[in-house]
Structure 1
Amino acid sequence: MQTTAVPHAKLRLSQANVRTIARDAGLEALAASIAEHGLLQPLVVTPAKGRKALYDVHAGGRRWRAIGLLIERGLWPSDRLVDVCLLTIGEASPREISLAENILREAMAPADEARAYRDVMGEGANAAAVARRFGVTVRHVEGRLRLADLAPPIFAALAEGTITLDIAMAYGATADHARQLAVWQRLADTWQGDNPQAIRRALATDVLASDHPVALFLGEAEYEACGGRVERDLFSEAGRGSWLDVDLAYDLALRKLTHEADVAALGSRLAWVRPCLATYLSHRETAGLEIYWPDHADPTPEALARISVIDARMQELADCLDACPDGSEGALYEQEYDSLVAERERLQRSAPIIPDSDRPHVGTFLLLDSAGRPQLLDMYYRTPAEDPAGLDDDSDGSSAMAVEESAGAAAGGTSPIASGYSRALEEQLAKDRRDVLAFRLAGEPDLALDLAMFVLACCVAKPGHLAATGCTIRLCDAGDPKGLGKLPPSHAAQALASHAAGLPRSWSESEDAFQSFQAFRALDWAERLSWLALAVGCGLTASLASGAHERPFHTQLGAMIGIAVADVWRPTAEGFFDRLRKAQILDVLREIDPELPARHSASNKAELAGFAARLCAGETIVEAEVRQRALAWVPSVLAFAAAPCAPSDGAPLEQDGEAPAQAA
């Protein structure tokens, strides 16, 4: 093999080259490198058969293409000679040379590349110059430099191949060596040590992401103007970063939101509007408060006219969704449909009517949406009459608690998950779930007695617990949501009514209250307990497992009893499926059997709702496994799936003063 030089025009790619697929990836970078540094490695060629003036390139095809690219752009003289190694016949087969060139070549290790960039930068070059010389982006150079600046143990692990590039990049999300090493020592020997996302979450525990609602609400400019520090992540999209001074950010944001809440209170003429630096309302915020359900004025003629237009458009969209349930066009229809549903509900509810006698005690909360915009909560709360400011002994610093919970959610906590149903359907489901719990509680008189005594004791010892229990122990107003439609009673409501009809009522026939009381006392102990259990159950407020009607106490109570909602509640067409969009019904069918949506996607919404209702009632002919899943399906917001509460140190006592035996 001898070294010589020939013009680029006399070179052509060999037919024996093993790389037959031409890839443009990296070609620009290679051309930039050749333009800056020249051809560092000659091409391997042989004389072309039958064409004495041409040479076949067996190794270095990409270098040959890169030079051709430079010639097209006028960056390489067309008559400039290209260094080549001329392979003589008999030394090795052309295909063997090509195979060795492409298989034995090894890409540069990221650690070596990082060191090299750092050394070049040390000689006086900047990132832009290095990027131009080697045909890479400035961001790529800066990213490799961040790798070179990793804490020594982590960089050593990358160089040795102990960790991958993705893991090293995760540690490079911060330039703080102390935080890198703290997470490295904590996660290195665990399964999370190989999970880049887990590493990033661990590094972000004490920082605030720039896309967090609090950060979006405050704004980076205002935060930095007050001395806040932002750490940029070179491996993420431009404009992202981590806010290091979390306490400062929350303090500034809370002051700003408090001002917004004061303005909102003046505009709404409410007694109070409390700021809450969170995207949802926590139960701590509502401790000691009662939900206030105001009456609403009748819609104005203009609102009624708009509702009529909305109804017509919603029907058009429903027809369009039936025709194309999937795809981007269907998504646009669904988005418009949802916005119209929200607008219709606002118009229908109209302005709240709050009597002057109630107004000094009624208020609401100012929250943040996911984009950091202040949103006045569409729900009202009432404070005790003796506490017009709405602040009891336990609630000073409630905003701070909201900040703490919001920060916890940012660090990996969970927030209440929206059901995706309309507000009217959510309210109906909340009442249905209450009826399920009430019916089961009516069959647990011992538990109902305990609950009744607990609630009555709370009235004296701990009033703040009353709102959390969601149990009024009075039948004058169970706190049902307003505006429920006139729908047939649910299975749970029918079961509760049937249970009530089976209790003895002769004691209530007297017109004299005291005689009725005497008759009631004459009932058997079990009969009196049954009436007590019924009353306790009917005093429960409407609740769901998540969303605006979330009541964890109910969820834990139902889980402790072991309630299976499907035993006493089934989704009907009129009460449930008719009130969903077609795509939502198909999602339910997909949960039951992944093949069902394809079979019924051509059905219109009314047909689909009827089929879904019959399927969940066990009235269709399907496979046994599918029928079993359908009979057990209920919306997740109705489920009672919380873990049972841990038993307390002291066991309750029976009437004779002895502790009851544990249930088997």
Structure 2
Amino acid sequence: MSAKQVKTVPASGTEIFVPLSKLKKSPKNARKTPHSEAAIEGYASSIAAKGILQNLVVEPELNAEGVATGFYFVTIGEGRRLAQLLRVKRKEIKKTEPIRCIVDTTNDAFEISLDENVTREDMHPADQFEAFKKLADERGFGAEEIAARFGVTPNVVRQRLRLGAISPKMMQAYRDGELCLDQLAAFAITDDHVRQEAVYERLSYNRDASTIRRLLTETHVPATDRRARFVGIEAYTEAGGTVLRDLFTEDRGGYLEDVALLDGLVTAKLGSEADAIREAEGWKWTEAHLDFPHAHGMRRIYPHSVELSAKDARALKVAQSQFDQLTEQYQTVEELSDDVDAQFGELEAEIERLEAKRQAYDADDIARSGAFVILNHDGTVRIERGFVRPGDEKPQSEAEQESGDRSRNGSHDADGQSMQGNAEGAEAASEEADDRPLSDVLVRDITAHRTLGLRLNLSEQPEVAIVAVTHALAAQIFYLGADAHVVGIRPVKTDLAAHAEGIEDTPPGKAWADRHANWARQMPRDVTELWTFVAELDHDSRMSLFAHCVALTVNAVILPLERRPRALATADQLAEAVSLDMTGYWRPTVRSYLGRITKARILEAVSEGVSNEAAERMADMKKADMAEAAEQLLAATGWLPSPLRTAEPRHKVMDTSNAARDGDLISETAE
């Protein structure tokens, strides 16, 4: 190498400025995995804000003859070189931008490249969080400004600022390894240090992040709550309410902190809805309730069928025809356009509006009864109409009053007149009177014989027995306080809404309510006409009413402290008998099931419903993510938890040998 050539190569340790276009990636760089786009973006943002804080280390490029080419290989600082090239692409700098470098021809390029990436210790994340917080507090930098200076997203900056603002006690626990980052992030859902520390003291062995979040938000209302959905987050915040947001998980809108304010807004809005219903429909009263008051103690009246006006009948026919034509036109289309979907929606609404006119309440019924305005589980309003307070019932006629007195006193004479005093004394003192009433003792005696005759005859006429039982059930189900039945069967009705929140709002719940209301509308107004109504129904209709009344008494609810093994076994047999398939009424969702069980149970469900492989792929997920993923996987499988499964019907086909064997078995048992 000539003297001139030697002079062109700077000595090792020399600081020089090299044009960016003269820098190349070193083939001796120990880092083989390329820098990520995010990392390069971060370098570029940092350099744009603060310049290159650490010199690049380079060695001259030599050709085959050992002559310097004027280019330099970057031994240390390849990420910074790529960041500057990105800035060139963005036209922030030129290719000729001088880059400060240190020449190193003494050390092995590969070894110092490896040393640069290995012999160092990253800053503890806690220090980073607090440093970001310091930039915001002392220099007034916002999230966007900090993000631009360090090449991260504003959301990442907000997360680090939130973590930097956590209680010093929590931060020290994180530094000491007593809390992991997920747990620290869970504490950061609130900036209340006192509350953070109080929850930390309450934690036992279970320090799961979801448990920490639950404890920190147990006095708040999630934005998915029906009250929040009914009022609206915007209305709540405009009223001065605050919303707690979780920057680290999908919080579905956050948590409303001022529960009293929210409840006040709900009460006011529900009350306004109730007032509007009363004014628009003419009810005597309306009451607003979060939940339906099942213990209202009122009789309910239902609307009766009316003929549509000619105008409405024509409009219904046109709307139904258009709906049918649209259905036929698009029956093979997998996904409807927004316009067509809107047309279907408009026609359905019009048909529903006109069909509703087929039912109407009498004006005098509306004038003396009222309606409950209820908040559904999904945050919508439900209106239950036609309830009559005891004080608003129509006065009984004189004959009805006498009948009521007889019923209460339990005594009757041959002409249906009531009697007073001691029956036996009256019988002894009035032997000479021809028009005296029969004594209670005698009436009791002869009506006992009549009852026996009724039992004997009824036992031989199953069809009439069905009428009697149906009458007894309907009289007690559809008429409040109507002691009109003679068969001693009493329905015991279990309020399922007390056991499963929101069950009335589900499609099966609404289907049952509609079925019950349909029968209620058909009931005669006077309970004394009920027997004739039931008796004159055709066989299928009578059996349908009978089945409905019996079904209302079914109770297969399993309570924590209630032990009814034989009854529950019967419930299983009933499920088999009616071929119950709960997939038509229920499916496992995050809200209904998956969000309320352990991760192990979720994985078990996926393993049973989908495959073991699918469950294994989910094993490392957080519980919330796991539950959502499981809901998607199980949606089309028909999987059910064991309490909802129905056993396969046990069909017993008996041949001659089986019959003989069973006969032998019976004989052996008898012996």
CA change 1:218–1:594 in 2 (3 A) is closer
For residues 315 and 122 of structure 1, the distance between their equivalents in structure 2, rounded to whole angstroms, comes to: 65
For residues 11 and 305 of structure 1, the distance between their equivalents in structure 2, rounded to whole angstroms, comes to: 78
Contact 1:478 1:541 in 2 (8 A): no
| Partner residue in 2 for 1:657 | none
| Partner residue in 2 for 1:13 | 25
Contact 1:360 1:388 in 2 (8 A): no
Which residue, 134, 142, 146 being the options, matches 1:119? 134
For residues 248 and 63 of structure 1, the distance between their equivalents in structure 2, rounded to whole angstroms, comes to: 53
State the one-letter code of the partner of 1:272. W
| Partner residue in 1 for 2:578 | 569
Which residue, 170, 194, 206 being the options, matches 1:154? 170
1:404-415, aligned counterparts within 5 Å? 414-415=501-502
CA change 1:109–1:487 in 2 (3 A) is farther
For residues 518 and 322 of structure 2, the distance between their equivalents in structure 1, rounded to whole angstroms, comes to: 30
Q: CA deviation digits over 1:181-207, x for unaligned, max 9?
A: 2222223x233x223x33222222212
Contact 1:209 1:242 in 2 (8 A): yes
| Partner residue in 2 for 1:66 | 83
Number of equivalences: 461
| Partner residue in 1 for 2:438 | none
SS state of the match for residue 139, structure 2?
Answer: coil
SS state of the match for residue 100, structure 2?
Answer: strand
For residues 429 and 256 of structure 1, the distance between their equivalents in structure 2, rounded to whole angstroms, comes to: 29
- Match status 1:178 vs 2:194: yes
State the one-letter code of the partner of 1:13. K
State the one-letter code of the partner of 1:163. L
- Match status 1:359 vs 2:376: no
For residues 247 and 229 of structure 2, the distance between their equivalents in structure 1, rounded to whole angstroms, comes to: 20
Using the TM superposition, name which of 257-266 and 293-302 deviates more: 293-302
| Partner residue in 1 for 2:15 | 4
- Match status 1:288 vs 2:297: yes
Q: CA deviation at 1:563?
A: 0.6
- Match status 1:382 vs 2:395: no
CA change 1:311–1:270 in 2 (3 A) is farther
CA change 1:288–1:341 in 2 (3 A) is farther
CA change 1:348–1:19 in 2 (3 A) is farther
| Partner residue in 2 for 1:416 | 503
Contact 2:504 2:510 in 1 (8 A): no
Q: CA deviation at 1:7?
A: 1.8
| Partner residue in 2 for 1:199 | 212
For residues 141 and 176 of structure 2, the distance between their equivalents in structure 1, rounded to whole angstroms, comes to: 28
State the one-letter code of the partner of 2:391. E
Q: CA deviation digits over 1:519-567, x for unaligned, max 9?
A: xxxxxxxxxxxxxxxxxx8754648999xxx999xx9999656412432
State the one-letter code of the partner of 1:348. E
Sequence identity (%): 26
State the one-letter code of the partner of 1:127. G
Contact 1:474 1:539 in 2 (8 A): no
- Match status 1:301 vs 2:317: no
State the one-letter code of the partner of 1:350. K
State the one-letter code of the partner of 2:88. I
SS state of the match for residue 2, structure 1?
Answer: coil
Contact 1:364 1:376 in 2 (8 A): no
Q: CA deviation at 1:68?
A: 1.6
Which is bigger in relative contact order (C-alpha 8 A, separation at least 6)?
1
- Match status 1:41 vs 2:25: no
For residues 368 and 230 of structure 1, the distance between their equivalents in structure 2, rounded to whole angstroms, comes to: 22
Q: CA deviation digits over 1:388-416, x for unaligned, max 9?
A: 79xxxxxxxxxxxxxxxx9x99xxx9533
State the one-letter code of the partner of 1:114. F
Higher Rg: 2
For residues 429 and 34 of structure 1, the distance between their equivalents in structure 2, rounded to whole angstroms, comes to: 73
SS state of the match for residue 631, structure 1?
Answer: coil
For residues 40 and 303 of structure 1, the distance between their equivalents in structure 2, rounded to whole angstroms, comes to: 78
Contact 1:29 1:134 in 2 (8 A): yes
Q: CA deviation at 1:9?
A: 1.0
Q: CA deviation at 1:225?
A: 6.0
State the one-letter code of the partner of 1:203. L
SS state of the match for residue 25, structure 1?
Answer: helix
Contact 2:58 2:75 in 1 (8 A): yes
| Partner residue in 1 for 2:149 | 133
SS state of the match for residue 84, structure 1?
Answer: strand
CA change 1:571–1:239 in 2 (3 A) is closer
State the one-letter code of the partner of 2:371. T
Which residue, 155, 160, 169 being the options, matches 1:144? 160
Q: CA deviation digits over 1:105-148, x for unaligned, max 9?
A: 66543311112123334543332543443233444334323222
Contact 1:3 1:83 in 2 (8 A): no
State the one-letter code of the partner of 1:194. D
Q: CA deviation digits over 1:446-490, x for unaligned, max 9?
A: xxxxxxxxxxxxxxxxxxxxxxxxxxx99949999xxx9x99899
Structure 2: stretches of 5+ with no match in the other structure: 1-11, 395-496, 520-526, 587-605, 612-637, 639-644, 651-671
- Match status 1:250 vs 2:270: no
CA change 1:264–1:76 in 2 (3 A) is same
Q: CA deviation digits over 1:252-277, x for unaligned, max 9?
A: 33123212211111112233332234
For residues 120 and 478 of structure 1, the distance between their equivalents in structure 2, rounded to whole angstroms, comes to: 86
Q: CA deviation at 1:331?
A: 12
Q: CA deviation digits over 1:345-366, x for unaligned, max 9?
A: 5543435311234324543332
| Partner residue in 1 for 2:43 | 30
Contact 1:430 1:543 in 2 (8 A): no
For residues 315 and 226 of structure 2, the distance between their equivalents in structure 1, rounded to whole angstroms, comes to: 36
CA change 1:477–1:489 in 2 (3 A) is closer
SS state of the match for residue 575, structure 2?
Answer: helix
Contact 2:576 2:646 in 1 (8 A): no
SS state of the match for residue 150, structure 1?
Answer: coil
SS state of the match for residue 373, structure 2?
Answer: strand
- Match status 1:167 vs 2:179: no
Q: CA deviation at 1:372?
A: 4.8
Structure 1: stretches of 5+ with no match in the other structure: 390-405, 433-472, 498-536, 581-589, 596-615, 617-627, 634-664
- Match status 1:92 vs 2:108: yes
For residues 479 and 418 of structure 1, the distance between their equivalents in structure 2, rounded to whole angstroms, comes to: 32
Q: TM-score, normalised by structure 1?
A: 0.56
Contact 1:314 1:340 in 2 (8 A): no
For residues 509 and 318 of structure 2, the distance between their equivalents in structure 1, rounded to whole angstroms, comes to: 21
Which residue, 62, 65, 72 being the options, matches 1:55? 72
State the one-letter code of the partner of 2:13. Q
Q: CA deviation digits over 1:582-637, x for unaligned, max 9?
A: xxxxxxxx999869xxxxxxxxxxxxxxxxxxxx9xxxxxxxxxxx978379xxxx
Q: CA deviation digits over 1:5-60, x for unaligned, max 9?
A: 32211112234443344521143332121122221223333333526222222432
Contact 1:296 1:349 in 2 (8 A): no
SS state of the match for residue 391, structure 2?
Answer: coil
Q: CA deviation digits over 1:67-117, x for unaligned, max 9?
A: 12223444445444323343437x3353x5444545666654331111212
1:226-375, aligned counterparts within 5 Å? 228-231=241-244, 233-235=246-248, 240-277=253-290, 281-282=291-292, 284-285=293-294, 287-290=296-299, 292-299=301-308, 300-315=313-328, 319-320=332-333, 324=334, 344-368=351-375, 372=379, 375=381
State the one-letter code of the partner of 1:352. Q
Contact 2:366 2:386 in 1 (8 A): no
CA change 1:3–1:352 in 2 (3 A) is farther
SS state of the match for residue 154, structure 1?
Answer: helix
